[in-house]
Protein backbone atom coordinates (compact mmCIF):
# COMPACT_ATOMS: atom_id res chain seq x y z
CA UNK A 1 0.00 0.00 0.00
CA UNK A 2 1.13 3.50 -0.81
CA UNK A 3 -0.36 5.98 1.64
CA UNK A 4 0.10 9.72 1.13
CA UNK A 5 -0.53 11.79 4.25
CA UNK A 6 -1.19 15.49 3.71
CA UNK A 7 -0.94 17.68 6.80
CA UNK A 8 -1.07 21.41 7.37
CA UNK A 9 2.30 21.53 9.16
CA UNK A 10 4.58 19.58 11.47
CA UNK A 11 4.63 21.66 14.62
CA UNK A 12 4.21 19.92 17.96
CA UNK A 13 0.41 19.66 18.12
CA UNK A 14 -1.95 16.82 18.91
CA UNK A 15 -2.74 15.89 15.30
CA UNK A 16 0.89 16.19 14.23
CA UNK A 17 2.07 13.92 17.05
CA UNK A 18 -0.73 11.47 16.23
CA UNK A 19 0.54 11.32 12.64
CA UNK A 20 4.07 10.60 13.88
CA UNK A 21 2.75 7.81 16.07
CA UNK A 22 0.76 6.27 13.23
CA UNK A 23 3.72 6.41 10.82
CA UNK A 24 5.97 4.74 13.37
CA UNK A 25 3.36 2.08 14.14
CA UNK A 26 2.36 1.14 10.60
CA UNK A 27 5.85 0.73 9.22
CA UNK A 28 4.74 -1.67 6.48
CA UNK A 29 2.85 0.57 4.01
CA UNK A 30 4.96 2.74 1.75
CA UNK A 31 4.24 6.14 3.26
CA UNK A 32 4.70 9.67 2.01
CA UNK A 33 4.02 12.82 4.00
CA UNK A 34 3.30 16.16 2.37
CA UNK A 35 3.50 19.10 4.79
CA UNK A 36 1.85 22.18 3.31
CA UNK A 37 4.11 24.49 5.33
CA UNK A 38 7.88 24.58 5.74
CA UNK A 39 10.41 22.72 7.87
CA UNK A 40 9.05 22.36 11.42
CA UNK A 41 9.95 20.79 14.79
CA UNK A 42 8.59 17.32 13.89
CA UNK A 43 10.02 17.21 10.35
CA UNK A 44 13.13 15.24 11.31
CA UNK A 45 11.07 12.66 13.18
CA UNK A 46 8.74 12.16 10.20
CA UNK A 47 11.65 11.95 7.73
CA UNK A 48 12.99 8.89 9.60
CA UNK A 49 9.94 6.80 8.73
CA UNK A 50 8.44 8.32 5.58
CA UNK A 51 9.30 10.17 2.39
CA UNK A 52 8.75 13.83 3.31
CA UNK A 53 7.91 16.84 1.14
CA UNK A 54 7.54 20.41 2.36
CA UNK A 55 5.59 22.66 0.00
CA UNK A 56 6.41 25.88 1.87
CA UNK A 57 2.91 27.28 1.46
CA UNK A 58 1.55 30.13 3.52
CA UNK A 59 -1.20 28.02 5.01
CA UNK A 60 -4.54 29.77 4.81
CA UNK A 61 -3.32 31.85 1.85
CA UNK A 62 -2.61 29.10 -0.66
CA UNK A 63 -3.29 29.96 -4.30
CA UNK A 64 -3.88 28.09 -7.58
CA UNK A 65 -0.14 27.52 -8.07
CA UNK A 66 0.12 25.80 -4.68
CA UNK A 67 -2.85 23.62 -5.57
CA UNK A 68 -1.26 22.58 -8.88
CA UNK A 69 2.01 21.70 -7.14
CA UNK A 70 0.17 19.44 -4.74
CA UNK A 71 -1.84 17.84 -7.56
CA UNK A 72 1.35 17.21 -9.55
CA UNK A 73 2.93 15.53 -6.53
CA UNK A 74 -0.08 13.22 -6.14
CA UNK A 75 -0.29 12.36 -9.82
CA UNK A 76 3.35 11.61 -10.65
CA UNK A 77 5.96 9.13 -9.50
CA UNK A 78 4.66 6.82 -6.80
CA UNK A 79 0.95 7.49 -7.17
CA UNK A 80 -0.68 6.70 -3.79
CA UNK A 81 -3.39 4.09 -3.21
CA UNK A 82 -4.96 6.30 -0.53
CA UNK A 83 -4.66 10.00 0.36
CA UNK A 84 -5.09 10.64 4.08
CA UNK A 85 -5.42 14.32 4.99
CA UNK A 86 -4.96 15.70 8.49
CA UNK A 87 -6.65 18.90 9.78
CA UNK A 88 -8.98 21.41 8.13
CA UNK A 89 -6.64 23.27 5.77
CA UNK A 90 -5.04 20.05 4.55
CA UNK A 91 -8.49 18.47 4.10
CA UNK A 92 -9.55 21.33 1.86
CA UNK A 93 -6.34 21.33 -0.20
CA UNK A 94 -6.40 17.52 -0.56
CA UNK A 95 -10.00 17.55 -1.79
CA UNK A 96 -9.26 20.19 -4.43
CA UNK A 97 -5.90 18.77 -5.51
CA UNK A 98 -7.06 15.15 -5.84
CA UNK A 99 -10.37 15.90 -7.57
CA UNK A 100 -10.86 13.59 -10.57
CA UNK A 101 -7.73 11.51 -9.92
CA UNK A 102 -9.66 8.49 -8.66
CA UNK A 103 -7.61 8.14 -5.48
CA UNK A 104 -9.57 7.28 -2.31
CA UNK A 105 -9.50 10.25 0.09
CA UNK A 106 -9.77 10.32 3.87
CA UNK A 107 -10.25 13.57 5.74
CA UNK A 108 -8.96 13.78 9.30
CA UNK A 109 -10.84 15.93 11.83
CA UNK A 110 -9.01 16.28 15.14
CA UNK A 111 -10.95 19.22 16.48
CA UNK A 112 -14.18 19.89 18.31
CA UNK A 113 -16.50 22.82 17.63
CA UNK A 114 -17.26 23.44 21.31
CA UNK A 115 -15.41 26.77 21.34
CA UNK A 116 -15.77 27.90 17.73
CA UNK A 117 -15.93 31.68 18.48
CA UNK A 118 -12.33 31.56 19.74
CA UNK A 119 -11.00 30.08 16.50
CA UNK A 120 -9.28 32.36 13.99
CA UNK A 121 -11.60 33.89 11.41
CA UNK A 122 -9.70 32.13 8.59
CA UNK A 123 -10.08 28.77 10.35
CA UNK A 124 -13.81 29.33 10.72
CA UNK A 125 -14.00 30.09 7.00
CA UNK A 126 -12.14 26.87 6.14
CA UNK A 127 -14.51 24.87 8.36
CA UNK A 128 -17.48 26.29 6.47
CA UNK A 129 -15.81 25.52 3.13
CA UNK A 130 -15.01 21.94 4.10
CA UNK A 131 -18.59 21.42 5.27
CA UNK A 132 -19.74 22.31 1.74
CA UNK A 133 -17.21 19.87 0.22
CA UNK A 134 -17.72 17.07 2.75
CA UNK A 135 -19.32 14.75 0.18
CA UNK A 136 -15.99 14.65 -1.70
CA UNK A 137 -13.89 12.46 0.64
CA UNK A 138 -14.63 8.73 0.82
CA UNK A 139 -14.38 8.84 4.61
CA UNK A 140 -14.18 11.56 7.25
CA UNK A 141 -12.20 10.24 10.19
CA UNK A 142 -13.04 11.86 13.52
CA UNK A 143 -11.07 11.23 16.68
CA UNK A 144 -14.22 11.33 18.83
CA UNK A 145 -17.96 10.75 18.62
CA UNK A 146 -18.58 14.20 20.11
CA UNK A 147 -16.55 15.88 17.34
CA UNK A 148 -18.39 13.84 14.70
CA UNK A 149 -21.80 14.90 15.97
CA UNK A 150 -20.77 18.56 16.23
CA UNK A 151 -19.46 18.61 12.67
CA UNK A 152 -22.51 16.83 11.32
CA UNK A 153 -24.71 19.49 12.89
CA UNK A 154 -22.47 22.07 11.17
CA UNK A 155 -23.23 20.55 7.76
CA UNK A 156 -20.61 17.80 7.34
CA UNK A 157 -21.72 14.60 5.58
CA UNK A 158 -23.02 11.95 7.98
CA UNK A 159 -22.62 8.91 5.75
CA UNK A 160 -18.86 9.43 5.30
CA UNK A 161 -18.23 9.26 9.07
CA UNK A 162 -15.76 6.90 10.71
CA UNK A 163 -14.53 7.31 14.29
CA UNK A 164 -11.00 6.18 15.12
CA UNK A 165 -9.42 7.62 18.27
CA UNK A 166 -5.75 8.45 18.59
CA UNK A 167 -3.34 5.71 19.61
CA UNK A 168 -0.70 6.04 22.33
CA UNK A 169 2.79 4.68 22.85
CA UNK A 170 2.32 2.91 26.17
CA UNK A 171 6.02 2.02 26.32
CA UNK A 172 7.15 5.65 26.16
CA UNK A 173 4.24 6.80 28.37
CA UNK A 174 4.52 4.55 31.40
CA UNK A 175 5.03 4.80 35.17
CA UNK A 176 8.62 5.78 35.87
CA UNK A 177 9.79 6.14 39.47
CA UNK A 178 13.21 7.47 38.45
CA UNK A 179 11.72 10.16 36.21
CA UNK A 180 9.23 11.08 38.94
CA UNK A 181 12.01 11.65 41.47
CA UNK A 182 14.20 13.51 38.96
CA UNK A 183 11.48 15.90 37.78
CA UNK A 184 10.32 16.64 41.32
CA UNK A 185 13.90 17.46 42.31
CA UNK A 186 14.37 19.58 39.17
CA UNK A 187 11.18 21.57 39.91
CA UNK A 188 12.12 21.96 43.58
CA UNK A 189 8.96 20.28 44.80
CA UNK A 190 9.02 19.67 48.57
CA UNK A 191 8.85 16.08 49.78
CA UNK A 192 5.28 15.01 50.47
CA UNK A 193 3.67 17.76 48.38
CA UNK A 194 0.61 16.93 46.32
CA UNK A 195 1.36 17.80 42.68
CA UNK A 196 -1.40 18.74 40.23
CA UNK A 197 -0.49 19.59 36.66
CA UNK A 198 -1.77 20.30 33.18
CA UNK A 199 -0.12 19.85 29.79
CA UNK A 200 -1.70 22.34 27.37
CA UNK A 201 -0.65 25.26 25.20
CA UNK A 202 -2.04 28.61 26.32
CA UNK A 203 -5.17 29.17 24.25
CA UNK A 204 -8.65 30.39 25.23
CA UNK A 205 -10.13 26.95 24.59
CA UNK A 206 -7.76 25.35 27.12
CA UNK A 207 -9.13 27.78 29.76
CA UNK A 208 -6.09 28.17 31.96
CA UNK A 209 -8.08 30.75 33.95
CA UNK A 210 -10.37 27.91 35.04
CA UNK A 211 -7.33 25.92 36.21
CA UNK A 212 -5.82 28.86 38.11
CA UNK A 213 -9.07 29.87 39.81
CA UNK A 214 -9.57 26.24 40.85
CA UNK A 215 -6.00 26.22 42.21
CA UNK A 216 -6.66 29.30 44.32
CA UNK A 217 -9.81 27.69 45.69
CA UNK A 218 -8.08 24.34 46.34
CA UNK A 219 -5.20 25.84 48.31
CA UNK A 220 -7.60 26.93 51.06
CA UNK A 221 -7.85 23.33 52.28
CA UNK A 222 -4.69 21.91 50.67
CA UNK A 223 -1.97 24.51 51.30
CA UNK A 224 0.93 22.15 50.51
CA UNK A 225 -0.09 21.59 46.88
CA UNK A 226 2.23 22.44 43.97
CA UNK A 227 0.73 23.21 40.54
CA UNK A 228 2.64 22.51 37.31
CA UNK A 229 1.82 23.99 33.90
CA UNK A 230 3.49 22.59 30.78
CA UNK A 231 3.06 23.81 27.22
CA UNK A 232 3.62 26.67 24.80
CA UNK A 233 2.98 30.04 26.45
CA UNK A 234 3.05 28.84 30.06
CA UNK A 235 6.26 30.77 30.78
CA UNK A 236 5.71 33.95 28.80
CA UNK A 237 2.00 34.61 28.24
CA UNK A 238 1.35 38.01 29.81
CA UNK A 239 -2.34 37.41 30.61
CA UNK A 240 -1.54 34.09 32.25
CA UNK A 241 1.28 35.54 34.34
CA UNK A 242 -0.86 38.50 35.39
CA UNK A 243 -3.63 36.18 36.58
CA UNK A 244 -1.17 34.03 38.53
CA UNK A 245 0.09 37.22 40.17
CA UNK A 246 -3.41 38.49 41.01
CA UNK A 247 -4.36 35.16 42.56
CA UNK A 248 -1.14 35.04 44.60
CA UNK A 249 -0.21 31.65 43.16
CA UNK A 250 3.43 32.17 42.16
CA UNK A 251 4.95 30.47 45.25
CA UNK A 252 2.92 27.32 44.48
CA UNK A 253 3.37 27.33 40.68
CA UNK A 254 5.95 25.66 38.45
CA UNK A 255 5.86 26.98 34.88
CA UNK A 256 7.66 24.71 32.42
CA UNK A 257 6.95 26.04 28.91
CA UNK A 258 7.38 23.65 25.98
CA UNK A 259 9.05 20.40 27.03
CA UNK A 260 10.15 17.30 25.14
CA UNK A 261 9.95 15.09 28.27
CA UNK A 262 6.16 15.13 28.73
CA UNK A 263 6.08 11.46 29.75
CA UNK A 264 8.50 12.15 32.62
CA UNK A 265 6.47 15.18 33.70
CA UNK A 266 3.25 13.13 33.63
CA UNK A 267 4.90 10.48 35.78
CA UNK A 268 5.86 13.16 38.32
CA UNK A 269 2.27 14.31 38.88
CA UNK A 270 -0.18 12.99 41.45
CA UNK A 271 -3.15 14.35 39.50
CA UNK A 272 -3.23 15.42 35.86
CA UNK A 273 -6.00 17.70 34.74
CA UNK A 274 -7.70 19.28 31.75
CA UNK A 275 -9.60 22.53 32.25
CA UNK A 276 -10.74 23.01 28.65
CA UNK A 277 -13.97 24.48 27.30
CA UNK A 278 -13.79 22.20 24.29
CA UNK A 279 -11.82 19.22 23.00
CA UNK A 280 -12.25 16.33 20.59
CA UNK A 281 -10.11 13.50 21.98
CA UNK A 282 -7.72 15.02 24.53
CA UNK A 283 -4.27 13.46 24.16
CA UNK A 284 -2.99 14.96 27.40
CA UNK A 285 -5.44 12.93 29.48
CA UNK A 286 -4.71 9.62 27.74
CA UNK A 287 -0.94 10.14 27.98
CA UNK A 288 -1.11 10.92 31.70
CA UNK A 289 -3.26 7.86 32.33
CA UNK A 290 -0.73 5.70 30.46
CA UNK A 291 1.82 6.93 33.01
CA UNK A 292 -0.40 5.70 35.84
CA UNK A 293 -1.47 9.23 36.81
CA UNK A 294 -5.05 9.91 37.90
CA UNK A 295 -6.99 12.52 35.94
CA UNK A 296 -9.64 15.15 36.53
CA UNK A 297 -11.08 16.58 33.33
CA UNK A 298 -13.82 18.88 32.25
CA UNK A 299 -16.63 17.10 30.40
CA UNK A 300 -15.46 17.93 26.89
CA UNK A 301 -15.05 15.79 23.78
CA UNK A 302 -14.50 12.15 24.64
CA UNK A 303 -12.76 12.84 27.96
CA UNK A 304 -15.40 10.85 29.88
CA UNK A 305 -14.96 7.90 27.50
CA UNK A 306 -11.19 7.96 27.97
CA UNK A 307 -11.26 8.22 31.77
CA UNK A 308 -14.18 5.87 32.46
CA UNK A 309 -14.33 5.10 36.19
CA UNK A 310 -10.62 5.72 36.82
CA UNK A 311 -10.84 9.49 37.47
CA UNK A 312 -13.23 12.40 37.78
CA UNK A 313 -15.25 14.37 35.19
CA UNK A 314 -16.50 17.88 36.05
CA UNK A 315 -18.45 20.56 34.14
CA UNK A 316 -16.41 23.04 32.07
CA UNK A 317 -16.04 26.70 33.11
CA UNK A 318 -16.59 25.80 36.79
CA UNK A 319 -13.43 26.23 38.90
CA UNK A 320 -15.17 25.22 42.13
CA UNK A 321 -16.24 21.92 40.56
CA UNK A 322 -12.71 21.39 39.23
CA UNK A 323 -11.30 22.01 42.72
CA UNK A 324 -13.76 19.54 44.22
CA UNK A 325 -12.72 16.96 41.63
CA UNK A 326 -9.12 17.33 42.73
CA UNK A 327 -10.22 17.03 46.35
CA UNK A 328 -11.92 13.69 45.66
CA UNK A 329 -8.67 12.18 44.43
CA UNK A 330 -6.54 13.99 47.03
CA UNK A 331 -8.58 12.36 49.80
CA UNK A 332 -7.27 8.93 48.76
CA UNK A 333 -4.08 7.65 50.33
CA UNK A 334 -0.98 6.98 48.23
CA UNK A 335 -1.64 3.25 47.81
CA UNK A 336 -5.22 3.88 46.69
CA UNK A 337 -4.08 6.45 44.12
CA UNK A 338 -1.39 4.12 42.78
CA UNK A 339 -3.85 1.22 42.47
CA UNK A 340 -6.42 3.34 40.62
CA UNK A 341 -3.61 4.81 38.52
CA UNK A 342 -2.65 1.30 37.35
CA UNK A 343 -6.29 0.73 36.37
CA UNK A 344 -6.17 3.98 34.39
CA UNK A 345 -3.02 2.83 32.59
CA UNK A 346 -4.56 -0.54 31.75
CA UNK A 347 -7.59 1.22 30.26
CA UNK A 348 -5.32 3.04 27.80
CA UNK A 349 -3.31 -0.10 27.01
CA UNK A 350 -6.46 -2.12 26.30
CA UNK A 351 -8.42 0.46 24.31
CA UNK A 352 -6.08 3.06 22.86
CA UNK A 353 -2.66 1.45 22.34
CA UNK A 354 -0.86 2.33 19.11
CA UNK A 355 -0.99 -1.18 17.67
CA UNK A 356 -4.74 -1.46 18.23
CA UNK A 357 -5.42 1.87 16.49
CA UNK A 358 -2.90 1.10 13.74
CA UNK A 359 -4.80 -2.07 12.84
CA UNK A 360 -8.00 -0.05 12.50
CA UNK A 361 -6.33 2.28 9.99
CA UNK A 362 -4.93 -0.63 7.97
CA UNK A 363 -8.45 -2.10 7.80
CA UNK A 364 -9.84 1.27 6.63
CA UNK A 365 -7.17 1.69 3.95
CA UNK A 366 -7.77 -1.84 2.64
CA UNK A 367 -11.54 -1.29 2.47
CA UNK A 368 -11.12 1.87 0.40
CA UNK A 369 -8.61 0.25 -1.97
CA UNK A 370 -10.84 -2.81 -2.44
CA UNK A 371 -13.82 -0.58 -3.25
CA UNK A 372 -12.00 1.02 -6.22
Q: Where are the alpha helices (DSSP H) in the chain?
A: 14-26, 43-47, 64-75, 88-97, 121-132, 145-153, 177-186, 208-218, 238-246, 262-268, 283-290, 303-307, 319-330, 334-352, 354-370
Where in the sequence is the domain holding 34, given as residue range(s)? 2-167+353-370
In a domain, residue 172? The reply is no
Residues 234 and 161 in one domain: no
Residues 215 and 95 in one domain: no
Residues 151 and 202 in one domain: no
Residues 189 and 260 in one domain: yes
Each residue's pLDDT tens digit, 88-101:
999 999 999 999 99
Residues 144 and 203 in one domain: no
pLDDT value at 28 more than 80: no
Residues 133 and 191 in one domain: no
Residues 110 and 232 in one domain: no
DSSP-derived secondary structure for 297-336: EES-TTHHHHHTTSSEEE-TT-HHHHHHHHHHHHTS-HHH
Residues 122 and 221 in one domain: no
Residues 156 and 190 in one domain: no
Q: Please, which residues have CB within 8 angstroms of residue 122's CB and are 6 or more apart in sequence? A: 60
Q: Residue 72: which CATH number?
A: 3.40.50.2000
Q: Please tell me the distance from the alpha carbon of residue 199 to that of residue 173, in angstroms, as a whole number.
A: 14
- pLDDT for the residue numbered 320: 98
Residues 181 and 287 in one domain: yes
How far CA 221 is from CA of 76, 100, 137, 326, in Å, comes to 65, 64, 53, 11
Q: How many domains does the chain have?
A: 2
Q: List, in sequence order, every residue forming a beta bridge with 6; answer none if it has no partner.
A: 34, 85
Residues 130 and 7 in one domain: yes
Provide the pLDDT confidence category of residue 13 given band limits of 50, 70 and 90.
confident
Picking from 14, 10, 6, the residue whose alpha carbon sits closest to that of residue 45 is 10
Mean pLDDT value of segment 341-345: 98
Residues 300 and 211 in one domain: yes
Amino acid sequence: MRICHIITGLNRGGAELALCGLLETLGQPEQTVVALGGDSPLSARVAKVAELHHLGMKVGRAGPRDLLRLRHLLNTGGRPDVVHAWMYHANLMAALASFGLGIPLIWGVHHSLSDLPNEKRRTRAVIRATALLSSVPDRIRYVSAVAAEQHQRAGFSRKRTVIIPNGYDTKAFAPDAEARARIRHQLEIPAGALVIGMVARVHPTKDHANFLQAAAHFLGNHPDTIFVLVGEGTMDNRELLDLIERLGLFPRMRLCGNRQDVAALDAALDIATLSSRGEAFPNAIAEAMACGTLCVSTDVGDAALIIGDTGVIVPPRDPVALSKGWARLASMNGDERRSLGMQARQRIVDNFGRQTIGRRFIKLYRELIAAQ
